[in-house]
A and B are shown apart, each in its own frame.
Chain A
Amino acid sequence: MSAAPPPARRLSGLRVWQNNQAWLTPLLLLVLPVGLFGLLIITPIVQSIWISFYDWDGTGPATWVGLSNYAELFSDPQFYTSLKNNVIWLVLFLLAPVFGLALALFLNQTLPEMRLVKSIFFIPLVLAHVIIGVVFTWFYDPTFGLLAILFNWLGLEPLAILSDEHFVTFGIIAAALWSQIAFCLVLFLAGLSQLDQELIAAGRMDGAAGWSLLRHIVLPQLRSVSFVASIITVIMSLRNFDMIAVMTQGGPYGSSTVLAYQMYDATIFSYRAGYGAAIATVLFAIMSVYIAWFLWHTLRREARGG
């Protein structure tokens, strides 16, 4: 006890509390959130990294293998296919904020009918990814699907998107984009409703209209929304798993697999928890870059006072 009371005074719990309240209060208030954060976020991360140094099947005894899971990973052609697909996902997913903004600008009108139109555009956001995946699988079905019917109608040979190693990733991304655009749309609509109308009026008086109004008056005000939309889109693209699992199970022969799915495949089907953990660690390292950027950006903005 560094803050022990002088011996002359009577020691009482109340006094101890009063003397140390300044630092005890925040400590007590922080115990629960920090404890939960440690238990639910930090511990699994550390555990997962730890497991990645073992050869472990998930239930039996684990053998320490050092970095050999990583060595194997970096010589595994499937890893590079997954990584390449992750990059394609990341790049194409950035179309979501662009389309989301365009749709938001289009829908941001005060007509009474717009409520119905807006709610129609929200639908993809309400549906679970798994359901979207199933519906798009039917859509792409090379025999009975709508796309096949369309191709036949145009007199073309139907394209089996989910069976073609070159198109499959794009096919899944299209399905995922469908819901991600709706997500960005919601963010941008919220952002547009917060616009400073006086600034826009002033801009109009100075002769800004159309593109220049959008470019110099509206977009700068949407900066923080755009930032959030892009960063969440990037993270969503990196962790996408459910649609791949539903639509192709990573196939054909691994050509639509991304890191998150490869991790699942290695852990669940090949009984290699250590190898799966190594993939998880690599994925975590990639994501950390974006999370660090996000944190840095947020902290900097907070330091500037909003």
Chain B
Amino acid sequence: MTDRSATTTSNSRRCISRRALGAAVAVLGMAAAITLPTGVYAADEQTLVVNSDRSGAGQKAAMNKIAADFEAKNPGVKVTINYSDVESYKTSIRNFLVTNPPDVAFWFTGARMKTFTKRNLFDDMSGFFAENNLTNVMKPWLPAVSEGDKQYMMPTNFTTWGFFYNKQVFEKVGVAPPATWDELMAAAAKIKASGVTPFTIGTRDLWANALWFDYLDMRMNGLDFHMQLMDGKASYTDPRVKAVFAKWGEPIGKGYFLDNASSYGWQEAIPFLAQGKAAMYLLGPYVLTSLPAEAHGNIGFFPFPVIDPSVPKAEEISVNGVTIPSGAKNKPLARSFLAFLAQPDNLKAFALGGAVLPARTDVDITGDAFAQSQMALAKNAQGSAQFYDRDTDPEMAQVGMKGFQEFLANPKRSDTVLERLEAARQRIFK
């Protein structure tokens, strides 16, 4: 078994090639961006090619072991995994699905899956779940991988989101994990007074900031309105959205967020939390996987607090999955690999390696306290959204997240930002 970081190198190759192209670089660069293949694969029939963005150390180790076990069970089969980091995978997947499809590709579910299924780039996997007795155990996640009554991906794991906090800071300042918005603001005020930044955040790569918008909107206006907004059916200049920005403006105006958040990527903002320079980070379990194991003991978790008790408590639950591209060369082999991956022990090792939860109801996670707390959060949710950039149109997501970044830096521009978002919505969802 081998692994290659094909996607990452193709990225730097693009930069170098741009330099060499001279005058026509703009035009050619675009051609390169569209057509660059993501790696050269052997034409061996027994080679199963897997493209994966789950390149964190834990999930990578689990995946390599699963692949090695699969090779051992299937003599003559070689599994090649091309790992790349999440951000560059997002830019390369369109290219490789069209020009050089692997046999198996990891990806997000929901709207991000539909971007590709509506172009027929993913294989129909509807029969797969019944064949492998997965229909019942994967039932809660099947809507996320379905379009109409067909399934196009196999859910592998899901991510829950909420506040990760520095326990020592909370203890020193004398605050407990808050359950309501007022408690959260009171805690933030105390933390701020003690000279610690209440909320760390890195917005250079935009998406972490969208969690604040999603949660405020779901807690204040409810899941139904939030989903209407995501589907382009509600207006960004609606008074309800303005109320969300007004609520969000409170902690921003009081200086509770990390200064110069756009100077940091989402990962670069984590050390502030770990070092006790900041107290909380609204994010996913990537906080834990980005930190060394000995730092985990000091990091606690609490869900996004209640704002309006009359609004049902929906949560942000993002389902990740794996698919067989329509252009895959070894579809039967790919299916048996996915069935192997779906076995409870394999799926458990794969998910917990990334501090996320396996997308199977019958996996025993009693040994893992954090996983249990996340499972409880998911079970108690009265509805769920996936994530801003997974629920809405990709272009709307890009415009929206840039707007959130601007709002965090300049809360006074809220009306300008919302008007720009509304103009984009009307253009995109026409």
Q: What residues of B have a CB within 8 angstroms of the CB of A208 in the complex? A: none
Q: How far is the CA of A260 from the CA of B394 in the complex (A)?
A: 20
Q: How far is the CA of A72 from the CA of B430 in the complex (A)?
A: 15
Q: Does B126 contact A (CB under 8 A)?
A: no
List residues 126-173 of chain A with CB under 8 A from any CB of chain B: 128-130, 140-143, 160, 162-163, 165
Q: Judging by beta carbons under 8 Å apart, are B263 and A141 in contact?
A: yes
Q: Does A17 contact B (CB under 8 A)?
A: no
Q: How far is the CA of A248 from the CA of B394 in the complex (A)?
A: 20
List residues 7-57 of chain A with CB under 8 A from any CB of chain B: 40-41, 44-45, 47-48, 57
- 12 A-B pairs besides A253-B262, A287-B23 with CB distance below 8 A are A44-B30, A47-B31, A59-B119, A60-B118, A160-B259, A163-B261, A239-B25, A242-B18, A248-B204, A251-B262, A251-B405, A254-B402
Q: Which residues of B contact A (CB under 8 A)?
A: 12, 15-16, 18-19, 22-31, 33-34, 90-91, 94, 97-98, 115, 118-119, 121, 203-206, 259-263, 272, 394-395, 398-399, 402-403, 405-406, 409, 420, 427
Q: What residues of B have a CB within 8 angstroms of the CB of A140 in the complex? A: 263
Give the residue name and chain of the A residue nearest to B22 (CB).
A235
Q: Does A276 contact B (CB under 8 A)?
A: yes
User: Pick the contact of A142 from B26, B33, B259, B409 — CB < 8 Å?
Assistant: B259
Q: Does A228 contact B (CB under 8 A)?
A: no
Q: How far is the CA of A267 from the CA of B26 in the complex (A)?
A: 13
Q: Judging by beta carbons under 8 Å apart, are A239 and B34 in contact?
A: no
- Smallest CB–CB gap between B429 and chain A, Å? 14
Q: What residues of B have a CB within 8 angstroms of the CB of A129 in the complex? A: 15, 19
User: Pick the contact of A128 from B16, B398, B405, B420 — CB < 8 Å?
Assistant: B16
Q: How far is the CA of A249 from the CA of B402 in the complex (A)?
A: 11
Q: What residues of A have a CB within 8 angstroms of the CB of B28 in the complex? A: 40-41, 44
Q: Judging by beta carbons under 8 Å apart, are A41 and B24 in contact?
A: yes
Q: How far is the CA of A92 from the CA of B247 in the complex (A)?
A: 42
Q: Judging by beta carbons under 8 Å apart, are B24 and A44 in contact?
A: yes
Q: A44-B27, A239-B26 are contacts. A264–B33 as well, Cβ < 8 Å?
A: yes
Q: What residues of A have a CB within 8 angstroms of the CB of B420 in the complex? A: 77
- Smallest CB–CB gap between A220 and chain B, Å? 28
Q: Does A186 contact B (CB under 8 A)?
A: no
Ordered nearest first, which 4 A-B pairs have the shortest CB separation? A160-B260, A253-B406, A270-B395, A252-B262
Q: Judging by beta carbons under 8 Å apart, are A162 and B94 in contact?
A: no
Q: How large is the interface on A (under 10, 10 to 19, 20 to 34, 35 or more residues)?
A: 35 or more
Instruction: List 30 A-B pairs, Cβ < 8 Å.
Output: A44-B24, A44-B31, A47-B31, A48-B27, A58-B34, A60-B119, A77-B420, A129-B19, A160-B263, A162-B260, A162-B263, A239-B26, A241-B18, A248-B204, A253-B402, A260-B29, A263-B26, A264-B33, A267-B30, A267-B34, A268-B94, A269-B91, A270-B394, A271-B115, A271-B394, A273-B34, A280-B26, A280-B27, A280-B30, A283-B26
Give the residue name and chain of the A residue nearest to B399 (CB).
A270
Q: What residues of B have a CB within 8 angstroms of the CB of A259 in the complex? A: 26
Q: How far is the CA of A283 from the CA of B27 in the complex (A)?
A: 9
Q: Judging by beta carbons under 8 Å apart, are A128 and B15 in contact?
A: yes
User: Pick the contact of A269 from B97, B394, B406, B427 — CB < 8 Å?
Assistant: B394
Q: Judging by beta carbons under 8 Å apart, are B18 and A265 in contact?
A: no
Q: Judging by beta carbons under 8 Å apart, are A253 and B409 in contact?
A: yes
- Smallest CB–CB gap between A1 and chain B, Å? 37
